[in-house]
Amino acid sequence: MESKWWKEGVVYQIYPRSFYDSNSDGIGDLRGIIRKIDYLKELGIDIIWLCPIYKSPNDDNGYDISDYYGIMDEFGTLDDWQELVEKLHAKEMRIIMDLVVNHTSDEHAWFAESRLSKSNPYRDYYIWRKPVNGKEPNNWKSFFQGSAWQYDKKTDEYYLHLFSKKQPDLNWENSNVRNEVYKMMTWWLDKGIDGFRMDVVNMLSKDMSFPDAEIIPGEKYSFGGMHHSNRERNHEYLREMNEQVLSKYDIMTVGECGFTSIKQGIMYTSPERKELDMIFQFELVDMDSGGKNRFELAGWDLVEFKKITEKWQKGLHGNGWNSLFLTNHDQPRAVSRYCNDSEFRVESAKLLMTYLMTLQGTPFIYQGEEIGMTNVSFDAIEDYNDIDSINYYKMQIEEGHMPGEVMHHIHMRGRDNARTPMQWDNSLNAGFSIAEPWLKINPNYTEINVQNDLEAENSIYKYTKSLISLRKENETLIYGKYISYDLANPYVFIYERFLGRERFLILLNFSEKNIDFYFPSELDADSFVSITSNYRKSIIENNFLHLEPYQAEIFLKN
Ligand code: ISL
Ligand code: CA
- What pLDDT sits at residue 262? 97
What CA–CA distance (Å, rounded) separates 207 from 131?
17
- What pLDDT sits at residue 299? 87
Q: Which ligand is nearest to the CA of 22?
A: 2
CB atoms near residue 420 (< 10 Å)? 27
Task: State pLDDT tens for residues 356-388.
Answer: 999 999 999 999 999 999 999 999 999 999 999
Rounded to two decimals, what is the model's pTM? 0.98
Taking CB atoms and a 6 Å cutoff, what residues make up the pocket around ligand 1? Answer: 60, 63, 100, 143, 163, 199-200, 256, 258, 282, 285-286, 294, 329-330
Give, in order, the Cα–Cα distances in Å from 175 to each of 11, 137, 170, 205, 240: 33, 24, 11, 13, 11
The torsion defined by the Cα of 22, 24, 28 and 32, in degrees rounded to 10, comes to: 0
The DSSP call for residue 213 is: P
Q: How far is the CA of 42 from the centre of ligand 1 (A)?
A: 30
What sections of 370-519 are H helices per DSSP? 387-398, 403-413, 450-455, 460-473, 475-479
Q: Indicate whether 24 pLDDT > 90.
A: yes
Order across the sheet with 252-256: list the strands. 278-280, 252-256, 195-198, 94-99, 47-50, 11-14, 362-366, 323-324
CB atoms near residue 481 (< 10 Å)? 15
- What pLDDT sits at residue 293? 81
- 199 is annotated as an active-site residue: yes
DSSP string of 269-336, one letter each residue: H-GGG-S-SEEE--HHHHTTB-SS-TTSB----HHHHHHHHHHHHHHHTTTS-BEE-S--TTS--HHH
Q: Which of 213, 166, 220 is nearest to 388 (CA)?
A: 166
Q: How far is the CA of 200 from the centre of ligand 1 (A)?
A: 7
Q: What is the mean pLDDT of the chain?
A: 97
What CA–CA distance (Å, rounded) separates 532 from 510?
17
Task: State pLDDT tens for residues 466-499.
Answer: 999 999 999 999 999 999 999 999 999 999 999 9
Q: Indicate whether 449 pLDDT > 90.
A: yes
- What pLDDT sits at residue 217? 87
What CA–CA distance (Å, rounded) separates 515 from 489?
12
CB atoms near residue 520 (< 10 Å)? 12
| Mutation to probe ligand 1, out of 330, 366, 386, 412 (largest number of atoms < 8 A from CB) | 330
Q: How far is the CA of 549 from the centre of ligand 1 (A)?
A: 33
Is the separation of the CB atoms in 484 and 306 below 8 Å?
A: yes
**Pairing of β 252-256 and β 195-198:** parallel
Q: What is the mean pLDDT of residues 238-261?
A: 97
Atom of ligand 1 nearest to the CA of 289: 4
User: Annotated catalytic residue: which of 256, 386, 416, 548?
Assistant: 256
Atom of ligand 1 nearest to the CA of 63: 23
Of the listed ranges 62-71, 165-174, 212-221, the least confidently predicted one is: 212-221
- What pLDDT sits at residue 330? 98
Q: Which ligand is nearest to the CA of 254?
A: 1
